[in-house]
Protein backbone atom coordinates (compact mmCIF):
# COMPACT_ATOMS: atom_id res chain seq x y z
CA UNK A 1 0.00 0.00 0.00
CA UNK A 2 1.24 3.47 -0.83
CA UNK A 3 2.45 5.61 2.04
CA UNK A 4 0.14 8.45 0.95
CA UNK A 5 -3.01 6.33 1.31
CA UNK A 6 -4.52 6.40 4.80
CA UNK A 7 -7.27 4.25 6.25
CA UNK A 8 -9.73 7.09 5.72
CA UNK A 9 -8.95 7.40 2.00
CA UNK A 10 -8.32 3.75 1.13
CA UNK A 11 -11.27 2.65 -1.05
CA UNK A 12 -11.29 -0.91 0.33
CA UNK A 13 -11.41 0.36 3.93
CA UNK A 14 -14.02 2.99 3.01
CA UNK A 15 -16.26 0.39 1.33
CA UNK A 16 -16.02 -2.06 4.22
CA UNK A 17 -16.72 0.69 6.73
CA UNK A 18 -19.79 1.70 4.74
CA UNK A 19 -21.00 -1.88 4.70
CA UNK A 20 -20.36 -2.25 8.45
CA UNK A 21 -22.29 0.98 9.07
CA UNK A 22 -25.21 -0.38 7.06
CA UNK A 23 -25.19 -3.60 9.09
CA UNK A 24 -25.00 -1.62 12.35
CA UNK A 25 -28.00 0.44 11.29
CA UNK A 26 -29.93 -2.73 10.47
CA UNK A 27 -28.97 -4.20 13.86
CA UNK A 28 -30.32 -1.14 15.68
CA UNK A 29 -33.54 -1.34 13.67
CA UNK A 30 -33.93 -5.05 14.53
CA UNK A 31 -33.16 -4.51 18.22
CA UNK A 32 -35.83 -1.80 18.33
CA UNK A 33 -38.31 -4.11 16.58
CA UNK A 34 -37.50 -6.88 19.07
CA UNK A 35 -37.91 -4.46 21.97
CA UNK A 36 -41.37 -3.42 20.76
CA UNK A 37 -42.38 -7.10 20.53
CA UNK A 38 -40.98 -7.88 23.99
CA UNK A 39 -42.86 -4.90 25.47
CA UNK A 40 -46.07 -6.11 23.83
CA UNK A 41 -45.51 -9.62 25.19
CA UNK A 42 -44.78 -8.29 28.68
CA UNK A 43 -48.01 -6.26 28.71
CA UNK A 44 -50.02 -9.28 27.58
CA UNK A 45 -48.43 -11.54 30.17
CA UNK A 46 -49.09 -8.99 32.94
CA UNK A 47 -52.74 -8.65 31.87
CA UNK A 48 -53.14 -12.44 32.00
CA UNK A 49 -51.18 -13.17 35.16
CA UNK A 50 -48.32 -14.89 33.35
CA UNK A 51 -44.76 -14.46 34.61
CA UNK A 52 -42.61 -12.33 32.32
CA UNK A 53 -39.33 -14.27 32.44
CA UNK A 54 -39.40 -17.81 31.06
CA UNK A 55 -35.98 -19.36 31.64
CA UNK A 56 -36.91 -22.59 29.85
CA UNK A 57 -37.89 -20.61 26.74
CA UNK A 58 -34.67 -18.58 26.92
CA UNK A 59 -32.60 -21.78 27.08
CA UNK A 60 -34.58 -23.37 24.24
CA UNK A 61 -34.08 -20.26 22.10
CA UNK A 62 -30.34 -20.21 22.74
CA UNK A 63 -30.07 -23.85 21.69
CA UNK A 64 -32.15 -23.11 18.59
CA UNK A 65 -29.88 -20.22 17.66
CA UNK A 66 -26.78 -22.31 18.27
CA UNK A 67 -28.06 -25.01 15.93
CA UNK A 68 -28.57 -22.44 13.19
CA UNK A 69 -25.31 -20.57 13.73
CA UNK A 70 -22.86 -21.17 10.89
CA UNK A 71 -20.14 -18.90 12.26
CA UNK A 72 -17.74 -17.34 12.45
CA UNK A 73 -19.48 -16.41 15.73
CA UNK A 74 -18.41 -19.02 18.29
CA UNK A 75 -20.85 -20.94 20.48
CA UNK A 76 -19.55 -18.99 23.47
CA UNK A 77 -19.82 -15.69 21.60
CA UNK A 78 -23.40 -16.44 20.59
CA UNK A 79 -24.33 -17.32 24.17
CA UNK A 80 -22.77 -14.08 25.42
CA UNK A 81 -24.52 -12.03 22.75
CA UNK A 82 -27.91 -13.65 23.41
CA UNK A 83 -27.67 -13.25 27.20
CA UNK A 84 -26.63 -9.62 26.83
CA UNK A 85 -29.53 -9.05 24.43
CA UNK A 86 -31.99 -10.60 26.88
CA UNK A 87 -30.61 -8.53 29.75
CA UNK A 88 -30.86 -5.38 27.65
CA UNK A 89 -34.46 -6.17 26.67
CA UNK A 90 -35.46 -6.69 30.30
CA UNK A 91 -33.81 -3.42 31.39
CA UNK A 92 -35.29 -1.40 28.51
CA UNK A 93 -38.81 -2.77 28.99
CA UNK A 94 -38.55 -2.02 32.71
CA UNK A 95 -37.46 1.58 31.99
CA UNK A 96 -40.33 2.17 29.61
CA UNK A 97 -42.85 0.65 31.98
CA UNK A 98 -43.76 -1.75 29.51
Cis peptide bond N-terminal to 18, omega within 30: no
Give CA–CA dist 64/58, Å, rounded. Answer: 10
The pTM assigned to this predicted structure is 0.84
Whether the CB-CB separation of 89 and 38 falls below 8 Å is answered with: yes
Each residue's pLDDT tens digit, 30-55: 999 999 999 999 999 999 999 999 99
Each residue's pLDDT tens digit, 8-37: 889 999 999 999 999 999 999 999 999 999
Residue ranges of domains in the chain, CATH in brackets: 11-96 (1.20.59.10)
Amino acid sequence: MSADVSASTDPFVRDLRREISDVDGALVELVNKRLRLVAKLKRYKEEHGIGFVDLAREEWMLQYLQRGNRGPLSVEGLAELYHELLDLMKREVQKSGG
